[in-house]
Structure 1
Amino acid sequence: MKEQKKAIAQSKKFSLPELVWLGFNYTCGIAFTSVYATMMFSEVDKTGQFLGMHMIWIFLVEGLVAGTCAWAFNKLSQVHPAGNGASYIYVRTNFGKFWGWLISFLQYTTLPIIVTSQIVSMIRLNFVGSGTFLDTKDMLGNWANLIWDAIGIAVYMLVSCTLFLGMRLLLKRYLNASSYIKWGSTGLLIIALIALFIINGTSAWDVNASSKYTTLNPTNFSIAFTSCFFFFLGFETYATIGKNVRNPERNIGRSIIWTMALAIIFYVIVTILMLGAIAGAFTNNPNLQIFRLLGNHVGQWIYYAGVIIMLICTISLKANAGMQNALYSGAILEPFAVEGLMPSKYQELNKDGIPFKASFLNLIITFIFAMIWLFIPDIIQGATGGNAVFSYAAITGEASLIMIIIYSFVIMVALKLGFTKKMRVKIWEMIAWSLVLVFLIWQFVQFFVDLGRSYHTAINQLNTDSSKAIATIVSNTLEIAYIVGVIMFAVIWYYTYYWKKYQARLKTNPQLQEALDAPFTVTDDWNYVVKEIQTELDRYLVRNQKIYQSQDNSNYQDAKHIRQEAYQSEGDLQEPVETK
């Protein structure tokens, strides 16, 4: 009976293919092409970074950096207790409460930015500057962004409220269908890209490969890296679930390699196809632009049909993302309430096990920041008559910058445990983490260096092109103010709200504080070690039987005995013995 229960539990664990699909499906998506108007050259704003062919190898660098960070999460998960908020657990355990709070709060503050990017890609990018029959830029003028962003916020808030209307069952069914919608529309787009590439021959490719459209310098590389690193984020979600994976000591590492390899291949292939399909100038939504261009060659029916299908799929997927954010965002705030970093009422769960009050608070915070990130810039654009204050690439870049801070801290934890011999690491891992840490610090510094240069240029433009200069100044100010503001808030909140409660708890209820601190310890990785021993012994037993032609021998019996002892020591990683 006991073995049967273990077998049932084992059947619910992720296999390697399932884990790879989970990571790939979570990480990758076709919305990343919307940054091309900034990375290449914008047909709408007549400006860009002119990276052209360089985007191909830049995605390779993105994947290598993200994969190295994911590997650090994987290794740290083996010596820390499982739980929500992996980066918070790792940093708090090794660097203390304050740094743990700061990192976890920074991670939470990426959510309003992510939601803003989802609102923009769900509505605005389809109806403003898409270069299709949906485009209302000429009709609505400078106020087009404000109008469509207001509609996007309204749609997003309405969709998010499904959680509070008791529609969780509908959400679950919708989530199951979302993968089919996502990859069905992606497949359709790739077919259209291939067809247009073939029709164009090398003409579009040659334009993008020319010196006019392919340039490289530290500034445009940094802009490209931070903007596109956003599309590799999320790996930490599945790199830390060892207890839910079959043969985790082998499969998690392999899944990281396979997922990042597939993500790189996906982004590189789509980028190559885009460069061969669109000659030089990209609209705000190249996915719709492809069908417009293809319709010029094949027929207008494919233009209208393709644009409508992509529109429906995009809105559907972003609505799905909105419902997921509403469902899971409360779980991000709940641990804060448990530790006393927020009022205790935000840890209360409703009958469905959802922290309702925390989720509702998150919805309000999201709405406020969406107003800041979208309405204020849109009003300024409408009043000055200039270009959009924030591009889609700028929004994704801001989220990436915050995650660069978080991943840098996680890598520093991995390096610390490696140097102090508290975690098994190899020399190549230490070298890789060190190189990536230096690279991420460079990108962080380069971000602010580029902002400073942008400020200087904008100030000099005030007399010649005031609308563009004002847009740049507002954009840079909001980007800096957001990061500085959230860090200052985290510091002030910790010392004015939490610290007093913490000191009082040490005096009045020290046992509670000990219980709260108990999970934040470095644990040994004995379960993983004996798992590896068992795996190696299994291989030996096979070799032994081949050598001795399946005859019993003393070495075979010793190995079986040691294997059984290792099996009994596996703990949470134990798997049912296969019957032969």
Structure 2
Amino acid sequence: MKKDTRMGLPTLIWLGFSFIAGITFTASFASIVGSSDNEAAKGVGIHILWIFAIEGLVAFICAWAFARLIKVHPTANGGASQYVRTAFGDFWGLFMGLINYAVIPLVAMGLLVTMVRNNFGSGSVIELFGKNGIWGSWGKLYLDLISLAIYSVAAAILFFGIRKYKIVANVIGYMTWSITILIMIVGIVVFSGNGFSGLEHYSNPENIDLTFFNFNNAFVSCFFAFCGLESFITVGNNIKNRGKNMPIAMTIIMIATTIFYIVFTLILMGAVTSGFDENPNIQVFGQSSPFLKAFGGWIVILCTVLMRFNSNLQVTLFGGSALEPMASQGFLPEKVSIKNKENVPVAGVITSIGIVAITFILFMLIPDIIEGATGNASPFDYATIAAATSIMLISVYLMVLGTVLIQGMRKNIKTTWYENTGWIIALAFLVLQFFMYFFDRIRQLIKGIESMNGIGSGNGISDVLGAIIPIIYFLGVIAAIFGIYYLYYKPKRAKWLANPDGVSKMEEINLNFRILNETEIQTIMEEEKKIDEYWLEIKNNHLQAKKAKKLQNS
């Protein structure tokens, strides 16, 4: 029997939740919630719970903007670049496309940090870096090079074919969620034995430092945990009744993800009563017996490495695929979008691997070498890399929120007053977070310079690097946008417009960058209804044939 390959609402919700939610968000808890190291700075403590609630609300408002824009565009898989180009022109389409793409190498850095390094810090089954680490100040460098080697293996798989990858991905997915459930069960058991001592620790004002800057740092670092909707939203063409199901799915996914993060955080706080280390998920097992700590710790490490291996493969493939739309619009050479027999854009993947390697040198290799030589801790842990990634994503969301508001003002989209109010509030809040992040980098730079001159208690060159590298990365992306547009795309577009074939190509490209009218939207809905009726008839005929065969055999 033929099968309907479109995703229904339940499948859409599960895939979206699995794509966004995960357990590695806890890797930043030592620096933003509260550390077990008495010399470390205090964190936001119990306040992380309502910060997660705000994060979920802001992410939902952004997701709603995506869902509303999907409904009025010809294709649902163009993503934010399509919406922005439709509203503001080709330059801003390229701007959004490259900003969105620039997130991918930073996501890869977050994956590399949590894949190996965070599993062998303080509180782990084996401590390889840090004050008591076996490898001392060079430990992070060795572990990060191991992560890079594992990433290289994951990336290489793409060139040998990925037909069986779905099976591997599903197995790893089941293992990951099984480990997550195990951690939660053990955490609840330990929580019940501890009573409320853990929650009292994180609620104690002596252990909390909820300043304006610490709130912003916690928000930006944890916002990374809600990343993924900007990519997941592009599956809109492959779901049943996208206009109805996508908003419902986004609502349920964001509510479920927020609840999961809050509940998981509560369990960790109840189980880990004296502050967090590099990997709080391992600490849950260490609160009971040495055997359980070793057994559970190695299970978590194995699960984390497998999960990050899987994620790195996805990120590399997505990085190559993300360049394809820009190539099809003429922003990049067409060979970037050419796929091999296994449907892999080889040139795009190679480009992404190269950019990831450059990003690795900036954010990990150079700081690790300086830490090994000077003993000053690298400024780039999971929290700081997650914050840098979040800022790039916030840039994406700011432009999408601005786009949906502009299209509403132009009457191209019918919006309500409460939608506009929510989008404006979210826009203003994210603008504040954006500027506060870079203001904090300037403060860090000044602190580092002062420390190098013997003033204050900063980390010298490490603070300087921690401040300027994210700024260099952001400005480098902006420079690339202007360079590609004015030095490559504009001359190429002029050649296209100089001949009939080129004009036809531009007209074909521009067909995807317009707002559908009510008649076109209604036509799409009617076509989707006919498809639903077709598959329902196929299903009913199959059931009737099955019943008839059963009666005949009896």
1:274 is matched by which residue type in structure 2? L
Secondary structure of residue in 2 paired with 1:341: coil
Deviations 1:42-85 (A, max 9, x none): 33593245100110000000000000000000000011121544
Matches within 5 A, 1:221-300: 221-295=215-289, 300=290
Q: 1:96 aligns with which of 83, 89, 99?
A: 89
The answer on whether the counterparts of 1:205 and 1:277 sit within 8 Å (CA) in structure 2 is: no
1:171 is matched by which residue type in structure 2? Y
Deviations 1:308-363 (A, max 9, x none): 11111111111111222233321111222222222222122211222112112211
Q: In the alignment, which residue of structure 1 is the partner of 2:550?
A: none
Matches within 5 A, 1:403-418: 403-418=393-408
Q: 1:524 aligns with which of 501, 510, 517?
A: 517
**Is 1:483–2:474 an aligned residue pair?**
yes
How far apart, in 2, do the equivalents of 1:518 and 1:222 lie?
A: 41
2:199 is matched by which residue type in structure 1? W
Deviations 1:372-423 (A, max 9, x none): 2110110111121112221210001111101111111111111111111111
* TM-aligned CA deviation for residue 262 of structure 1: 0.5
**Is 1:70–2:63 an aligned residue pair?**
yes
Q: In the alignment, which residue of structure 1 is the partner of 2:547?
A: none
Q: 1:576 aligns with which of 527, 532, 539?
A: 532
Secondary structure of residue in 2 paired with 1:386: coil
- The farther-off stretch of 278-287 and 146-155 is 278-287
Q: Taking every aligned residue pair, what percent have the same amino acid on both sides?
A: 32
**Is 1:471–2:462 an aligned residue pair?**
yes
Query: What residue ranges of structure 1 are gaps of 5+ in the alignment?
Result: 532-568
RMSD: 2.0
User: Is the radius of gyration larger for structure 1 or structure 2?
Assistant: 1
2:470 is matched by which residue type in structure 1? E
Matches within 5 A, 1:190-205: 190-205=184-199
Does the C-alpha gap of structure 1 residues 229 and 163 become closer, same or farther in structure 2, counting only changes over 3 Å? same
Could you state the TM-score of these two structures normalised by the residue count of structure 1? Answer: 0.87
- The farther-off stretch of 314-323 and 82-91 is 82-91
Matches within 5 A, 1:238-387: 238-295=232-289, 300-387=290-377
How far apart, in 1, do the equivalents of 2:436 and 2:363 lie?
A: 23
Q: In the alignment, which residue of structure 1 is the partner of 2:49?
A: 56
Secondary structure of residue in 1 paired with 2:45: coil
Does the C-alpha gap of structure 1 residues 45 and 398 become closer, same or farther in structure 2, counting only changes over 3 Å? farther
How far apart, in 2, do the equivalents of 1:525 and 1:230 lie?
A: 36
Deviations 1:216-244 (A, max 9, x none): 22211111111111111111334344443
2:330 is matched by which residue type in structure 1? G
Deviations 1:11-48 (A, max 9, x none): 32222221111110000000000010111233359324
Q: In the alignment, which residue of structure 2 is the partner of 1:492?
A: 483
Does the C-alpha gap of structure 1 residues 476 and 290 become closer, same or farther in structure 2, counting only changes over 3 Å? same
The answer on whether the counterparts of 1:73 and 1:239 sit within 8 Å (CA) in structure 2 is: yes
* TM-aligned CA deviation for residue 464 of structure 1: 5.0
Does the C-alpha gap of structure 1 residues 221 and 467 become closer, same or farther in structure 2, counting only changes over 3 Å? closer
Aligned residues: 531
Does the C-alpha gap of structure 1 residues 146 and 181 become closer, same or farther in structure 2, counting only changes over 3 Å? same
Deviations 1:288-310 (A, max 9, x none): 12212222xxxx22111101111
1:87 is matched by which residue type in structure 2? A
**Is 1:133–2:89 an aligned residue pair?**
no
**Is 1:43–2:36 an aligned residue pair?**
yes
Q: 1:425 aligns with which of 415, 419, 425?
A: 415
The answer on whether the counterparts of 1:243 and 1:573 sit within 8 Å (CA) in structure 2 is: no
The answer on whether the counterparts of 2:124 and 2:297 sit within 8 Å (CA) in structure 1 is: no
1:181 is matched by which residue type in structure 2? M
Secondary structure of residue in 2 paired with 1:570: helix
* TM-aligned CA deviation for residue 278 of structure 1: 1.8
1:477 is matched by which residue type in structure 2? I
Secondary structure of residue in 1 paired with 2:377: coil
Q: In the alignment, which residue of structure 1 is the partner of 2:151?
A: 156
How far apart, in 1, do the equivalents of 2:496 and 2:38 lie?
A: 57
1:510 is matched by which residue type in structure 2? V
Q: 1:182 aligns with which of 176, 181, 188?
A: 176
* TM-aligned CA deviation for residue 526 of structure 1: 4.0
How far apart, in 2, do the equivalents of 1:431 and 1:529 lie?
A: 27
Q: In the alignment, which residue of structure 2 is the partner of 1:511?
A: 504
How far apart, in 2, do the equivalents of 1:371 and 1:458 lie?
A: 21
Q: In the alignment, which residue of structure 1 is the partner of 2:443?
A: 453
Q: In the alignment, which residue of structure 1 is the partner of 2:545?
A: none
Matches within 5 A, 1:199-214: 199-214=193-208
Could you state the TM-score of these two structures normalised by the residue count of structure 2? Answer: 0.91
* TM-aligned CA deviation for residue 530 of structure 1: 7.4
1:140 is matched by which residue type in structure 2? W
The answer on whether the counterparts of 2:56 and 2:254 sit within 8 Å (CA) in structure 1 is: yes
Does the C-alpha gap of structure 1 residues 56 and 570 become closer, same or farther in structure 2, counting only changes over 3 Å? same
Secondary structure of residue in 2 paired with 1:389: coil
